[in-house]
Amino acid sequence: MDNGIERECCVLAFLSACIRTSGSIISKNGNFGFEIVTENERTAEFLSDMLDNRLGISLSRAGVEFDKFTGRDKLTIACVDNKTTELLKQLKIIRCSSDGYSLTFGIDDELVRKECCVASYLKGAFLGGGSCTIPDENSYSRTGYHFEVVFSNKITAGDFCDLLCSLDVLAKLVARKESAVVYVKSKEVISDLLNAMSVENCLQKLNRLVELKDKTNNVNRASNCSASNIDKTVTASVNQISAIETIRQTIGLKNLTPILFEVAEARLADPNASMQELADRLEITKSCINHRMRKIIQIANQLL
């Protein structure tokens, strides 16, 4: 069996999760069965092969309906016979009592006793009702990571949160119309989930993209920092030259002290130079030239 679902216990965990997310229970002639709705033909084929090859149960196509919201066809596959009634009992979705059959909710501990079954349950839940979105690789945003699984009832969704918690994954649960949605938004947590499901290809793809985006973000931050410094340098230079021109047009630069006159001349000679560059040319410290330039601006303000 592909995707690491080899053991029968893992098959049962996978199918139970898949039905809990994308399926519904139906009955016919006293037998219970299920329908699963999917937009993916490969998913339908995968489930059909799993049920047929491992459990001897055949699925049939119950219909195809066009979804105007997604623009895709929704394929419904179904099975109702005495075998599926027994299967649903094994999947802990229905139970038999003296009063007859009844539906159960939540995740039975027996289904996820083993680590391999937990991974299979995660896979089934994600295949049936999951989605994972990450920001476009050309986006500089560090947000936009989103992993969710949609359940038909809040009880199962709550148990799924507990299951994730046992893996040190803290997920949130919200209601969305008639469904319950379990979700996380941290790229680190999403990476942990993909690792728990042993989805190596997806995990490697996510890690590559995260690494690429982190590099892009670092470059972008450096570029923004550089641009910000340039803006500050230009603004400071404009203010300094304005002050120097005010002094020249009123009392004249020659009335400045020699050290202030030297600084004023250096600034006028190179309006684009940074304060550090001017300090190096005058062979003084940056703090010294800052002090002298503040003195020039103070004198100009007094002359206005």
**Residue of 74, 91, 76 whose CA lies nearest to 35:** 76
Confidence of residue 12 (pLDDT cuts 50, 70, 90): very high
Residues 6+ apart with CB under 8 A from 87: 15, 55, 57
Q: How confident is the model at residue 125 (pLDDT cuts 50, 70, 90)?
A: very high
pLDDT band at 203 (very low <50, low <70, confident <90, very high): very low
Q: Is the pLDDT of residue 277 over 90?
A: no
Residue 205 pLDDT: 47
The better pLDDT of the pair 188, 135 is held by: 188
Q: Is the pLDDT of residue 31 over 90?
A: no
Report the amino acid identity of residue 239: N
- Domains of the chain, CATH where assigned: 8-198 (3.10.28.10), 230-303 (no CATH)
Strand partners, 96: 101
Q: Give CA–CA dist 56/200, Å, rounded.
A: 30
Q: Which amino acid is at 75?
A: L
pLDDT(94) > 70: yes
Both structure tokens of 152:
């038909």
CA distance 34 to 281: 83
Interval 159-172 mean pLDDT: 90
Q: What is the DSSP secondary-structure string of the chain?
A: --TT--SHHHHHHHHHHHHHHHEEEEEETTEEEEEEEES-HHHHHHHHHHHHHHH----EEEEEEEETTTTEEEEEEEEESHHHHHHHHHTTSEEEETTEEEE--S--GGGGSSHHHHHHHHHHHHHHHEEEE---TT---S---EEEEEESSHHHHHHHHHHHHTTT---EEEEETTEEEEEE--HHHHHHHHHHTT-HHHHHHHHHHHHHHHHHHHHHHHHHHHHHHHHHHHHHHHHHHHHHHHHHHHT-GGGS-HHHHHHHHHHHH-TT--HHHHHHHHTS-HHHHHHHHHHHHHHHHHH-
The angle at the Cα of 101, spanning 10 to 49, to the nearest 5 degrees, equals 35
Give percent of the chain above pLDDT 90: 20
Q: Is residue 21 a contact partner of residue 152, using CB atoms and an 8 Å limit?
A: yes
Report the C-alpha gap between 86 and 63 in whole angstroms: 24
Whether residue 102 has pLDDT greater than 60: yes
pLDDT of residue 206: 43
The more confidently predicted of residues 184 and 288 is 184
pLDDT in the model for residue 216:
46
Average pLDDT, the chain: 81
pLDDT band at 18 (very low <50, low <70, confident <90, very high): very high
pLDDT category, 174, cuts 50, 70, 90? very high
* Structure tokens, 259: 């050290």
Token digits of residue 286: 């940056």
Amino acid 13: pLDDT: 94
Q: Which distant-in-sequence residues (6+ apart) come within 8 Å of 237 by Cβ? A: 267, 271, 272, 273
Half-sphere exposure of 253 (CA within 13 A, CB side): 17
pLDDT score for 4 = 64
Question: For 97, how many CA atoms within 13 A lie in the half-sphere containing its CB?
Answer: 6
Q: Determine the average pLDDT of the residues in 182-207.
A: 70
Q: Is the pLDDT of residue 148 over 60?
A: yes
Confidence of residue 202 (pLDDT cuts 50, 70, 90): very low
Q: Is pLDDT at 285 greater than 50 in this prediction?
A: yes
Report whether pLDDT(231) > 60: no
Q: CA-to-CA distance for 85 and 176, rounded, in angstroms?
A: 30
Return the pLDDT at 2. Answer: 46
